[in-house]
Amino acid sequence: MYDKELVLEILRQIENSINIILKRFSVINEPDDFVKDEEGLEKLDSICMQLIAIGEALKQIDKITEGKLLLRHP
Q: Do residues 46 and 20 touch, judged by C-beta distance below 8 A?
A: yes
- Tell me how many domains the chain contains: 1
Higher pLDDT, 51 or 74: 51
Other beta carbons within 10 angstroms of residue 57's beta carbon come to 18
- pLDDT at residue 60 in the model: 97
- Mean pLDDT of all residues in 17-43: 96
DSSP 56: H
Per-residue pLDDT for 34 more than 90? yes
Q: Do residues 10 and 57 touch, judged by C-beta distance below 8 A?
A: yes
**Full residue range of the structural domain in which residue 54 is found:** 4-72
Identify residue 2 by its one-letter amino acid code.
Answer: Y
What percent of the chain has pLDDT above 90? 88
41-67 residue pLDDT tens: 999 999 999 999 999 999 999 999 999
